[in-house]
Amino acid sequence: MDVLQTGVGPSLTRIGDELGAVIDQLASGENTSTPLERVADLIEGSSRVFVLGAGRSGLALQMTAMRLMHLGLEVHVVGEVTAPAIGANDLLLTASGSGATGGIVRAANVAVVAGAQVAVITTADDSPLAQYASAVIVVPAAAKLDRTGSASAQYAGSLFEQAVVVLGDALFDSLWKRSGQSADELWPRHANIE
């Protein structure tokens, strides 16, 4: 590993540079913009959206779930006690850097068997999870177990997880613009018991 400048300032700059490069790659080119629009279309066209990720990826998708709820969509976090059964016309939105997380792959299979569609955010377009997907967003970031430093100088999939947060916000922003709703119209859906 290259010797990197230490300190919070240089770390912040390095993280910002890496995330900016990922965003630039995802936002440009036919091969990457089409999956982004496809996932937005799937979200918009679904009766309900279920989100599922493990660890930090799961936390990032919970942020996306909250924003989609603000749009007025029916959204559920898989594993929460109030999450209903998934079915036809629903969407399972997943995030897994490796695309091989056992519980997420099994959930994708269940979703497809139930008639739902699956959207995947991953670093591996040929992964077991991607095989179930109607749309795959491939994030050009290191997978959790990649410690070579070639794709990211950050630890254990951090760049992927950061990208999941930003992608969720970008999907929300795009869908918000499509909806024509004002910020004032969204605000009453924000939690008032916190």
Task: Please state whether beta strands 117-122 and 135-138 pair in parallel, antiparallel, or not at all (unpaired).
Answer: parallel
Q: How many residues can be counted in the chain?
A: 194
Listing DSSP states for 102-151 in one string gives: HHHHHHHHHHHHTT-EEEEEES-TTSTTGGG-SEEEE--S--TT--SSSS
For residues 47 and 73, the answer to whether their CB atoms sit within 8 Å is no
Encoded amino acid at 34, one letter: T
User: Residue 44: is it exposed, middle or buried by C-beta count within 10 angstroms (0-12/13-18/19+)?
Assistant: middle
- Catalytic site positions: 161
- Which of 142, 119, 95 is CA-nearest to residue 41? 119
Q: How far apart are CA 95 and CA 54, in angstroms?
A: 8
DSSP state of 95: E
